[in-house]
Amino acid sequence: MRIVILGAGAGGGLPQWNCGCGNCNAARSGAIPSMTQSSIAVSLDGEAWALINASPDLRGQLQATPALYPRGLRGSPIRSVLVTNGDIDHVAGLLTLRESQSFDLFATPAIHDVLAGNPVFTALNPDFVTRKPIALDESFPLLPGLEARLFAVPGKVPLYLEGETVQTDLLGENTVGVELTAAGKRAAYIPGCATVPDWLLDRLAGADLLMFDGTLWADDEMIREGLGKKTGRRMGHVPVSGEGGSLTAFAQAAIGRRLYVHLNNSNPLTDPASSETHRAEAAGWQIGRDGMEIQL
Ligand code: MLT
Ligand code: MN
Ligand code: ZN
Report pLDDT for 105.
98
- Virtual CA dihedral for 144, 101, 176, 4, nearest 10 degrees? 70
Cα torsion 147, 181, 60, 161: sign: positive
Q: Residue 19's pLDDT band (boundaries 50, 70, 90)?
A: very high
Ligand nearest, relative to CA of residue 9? 2
Strands across the sheet with 257-261, in order? 139-143, 146-152, 176-182, 185-190, 209-213, 257-261, 285-287
The residue range of the domain holding 179 is 2-295
Query: What value does the mean pLDDT take over residues 269-273?
Result: 98
- Atom of ligand 1 at shortest distance to CA of 158? 8
**Residue 151 pairs with which residues in a beta bridge?**
177
Give the CATH number, domain containing residue 270.
3.60.15.10
- Virtual CA dihedral for 247, 269, 81, 124, nearest 10 degrees? 130
- Atom of ligand 1 at shortest distance to CA of 87? 8
Report pLDDT for 288.
98
95 CB-near residues (< 8 Å, 6+ apart): 120, 121, 123
Q: Name which residue sits closest to atom 1 of ligand 1, judged by CA.
A: 11
Residue whose CB lies within 8 A of the most ligand 1 atoms, among 87, 111, 230, for a mutation test: 87
Q: Name which residue sits closest to atom 5 of ligand 1, judged by CA.
A: 11
The answer to whether the CB of 23 falls within 8 A of the CB of 30 is no
Report pLDDT for 291.
98
Decide: 88 in ligand 1 pocket, CB within 6 A: yes
Report pLDDT for 94.
98
| Mean pLDDT of all residues belonging to the chain | 98
- Atom of ligand 1 at shortest distance to CA of 12? 9
The CA-to-CA distance between both ends of the chain, in Å, stands at: 5
Burial letters for 111-149: b for 16+ Cβ neighbours within 10 Å, e otherwise?
bbebbeeeeebeebeeeebeeeebeeeeebebbeebebb
- In terms of DSSP bridges, do strands 293-295 and 49-52 run parallel, antiparallel, or are they unpaired? unpaired
The predicted-structure confidence for 157-197, as pLDDT tens digits, reads as follows 999 999 999 999 999 999 999 999 999 999 999 999 999 99
Query: What value does the mean pLDDT take over residues 210-229?
Result: 98
Q: Residue 204's pLDDT band (boundaries 50, 70, 90)?
A: very high
The predicted-structure confidence for 102-128, as pLDDT tens digits, reads as follows 999 999 999 999 999 999 999 999 999
Residue from 84, 89, 91, 97 nearest 37 by CA:
89
Decide: 159 in ligand 1 pocket, CB within 6 A: yes
Q: Residue 275's pLDDT band (boundaries 50, 70, 90)?
A: very high
Q: Residue 29's pLDDT band (boundaries 50, 70, 90)?
A: very high
Cα separation, 232 vs 217, whole angstroms: 9
**How many domains is the chain built from?**
1
Report pLDDT for 208.
98
The answer to whether the CB of 7 falls within 8 A of the CB of 61 is yes
- Atom of ligand 1 at shortest distance to CA of 192? 2
Q: What is the largest CA-CA distance in the chain?
A: 54
Query: What value does the mean pLDDT take over residues 252-270?
Result: 98
Report pLDDT for 172.
97
